[in-house]
Amino acid sequence: MDFIAVGIDVSKDHLDVAVRPSGEMFTVERNAAGVPLLAERLQALAPHVVALEATGGFETVAAAALAAAGLPVVIVNPAQVRAFAKAIGQRAKTDPIDAGVIAHFAEATRPQVRPLPDEATRLLADLVCRRRQIVEMIGAERQREKRVTVPHLRKSIVRLVKALEKELASVNTDIDDAVRGSPVWREKEDLLRSVPGVGPTIANTLIAELPELGSCDRKQIAALAGLAPFTRQSGQWRGKSFIGGGRQAVRTALFMGAMVAKRRNPVLKAFFDRFVAAGKPKMIALIAVARKLLTILNAILRDRRPWQIA
């Protein structure tokens, strides 16, 4: 029996789908109508794995709906997929081609599928259903707004749409939290927690707030976390280097990890001690440890290999 692998390339407005080994390809809209149709169509195919890339948030609603429909969903690392594409000589890049590469990657690597428990499946199904209802209500109110000419009625509609949009944002957050805390994403958590100094809180924060982890180089990921140093200078004058910007929640989590790692992680403890022995202030040494920890975690997710002391 053939191993059926589905690859889905997620963009803002649509989902490109590829199926292997049949070679079937199709596209659905990424909205309240398209995603349920996709789930129904995939259920008929009975795939062994449905793979989506982590794309910074666009994938969560689709993953939630497909997982809630009982499909074997996994979130794959974009860096691994790009490396796979290079390895097979696939240089062209379009959304349908990307979907085909993801499907090929899933077929070749056969990532472990961790099914959701029944209660989690029901929760996701309820959240996705509620999201669809809210989206439909927003659409209906906006259609009414186009036809209304009475000012105070128009204001009433605008107020209601704003309230519905606020509720939609809340439901989107609930879906995001449910998916990122589910076994679909558990591989990332296991890899991150293999590093001494990284516990569940730090791992979950990085998964939720820094989905690019594992797909950027060390300078890019440090900049996203606000740990890339920048120097103030003018002419011959050279000021001190500073860090700043980036995602505060991520930076706070990494500092927590660095505080623990400089005591319990032998590699980072030695790294911290070398800075202090060289006369560097302890805060500077701690920042360096946080940046080093981020680099290590980025490489671990990129290579999909747990922590090992060389």
Please indicate, yes or no, if residue 308 is contained in any of the structural domains: no
- For residues 95 and 163, membership in a common domain is answered with no
How large a percentage of the chain has pLDDT more than 90?
36
Distance CA 275, CA 28 (A): 54
Q: How confident is the model at residue 184, as a pLDDT? A: 61
Kindly state whether residues 16 and 94 are assigned to the same domain: yes
H-assigned helices in 95-150? 95-109, 118-147
3-class secondary structure, 39: helix
Supply the pLDDT for residue 118.
Answer: 61
Contact 45, 164 (CB under 8 A): no
Which amino acid belongs to residue 62? A
Domain assignment of residue 189, yes or no: no
Do 122 and 100 share a structural domain?
no
Structure confidence at residue 1 (pLDDT): 66
The boundaries of the domain holding residue 126 are 118-180
* Amino acid code (one letter) for 140: A
Note whether 166 and 88 are same-domain residues.
no
Looking up residue 59, the CATH number of its domain turns out to be: 3.30.420.40
Ranges of residues in the chain with a pLDDT under 50 are 230-243
Quickly tell me which residue has 């996701």 as its tokens: 124
Backbone φ and ψ of 8, nearest 5°: -125, 120
Q: What is the reported pLDDT for 144?
A: 92
Which pLDDT belongs to residue 273?
A: 93
pLDDT for position 297: 93
* Residue 206: partners with Cβ closer than 8 Å, 6 or more residues away: 192, 213, 250, 253, 297
Domain's final residue, options 74, 109, 144: 109
**143 and 209 share one domain:** no
Say whether both 10 and 97 belong to one domain.
yes
Q: Is residue 143 part of a domain?
A: yes
Reading the block at residue 145, the tokens are: 């707004």
pLDDT at res. 233: 44
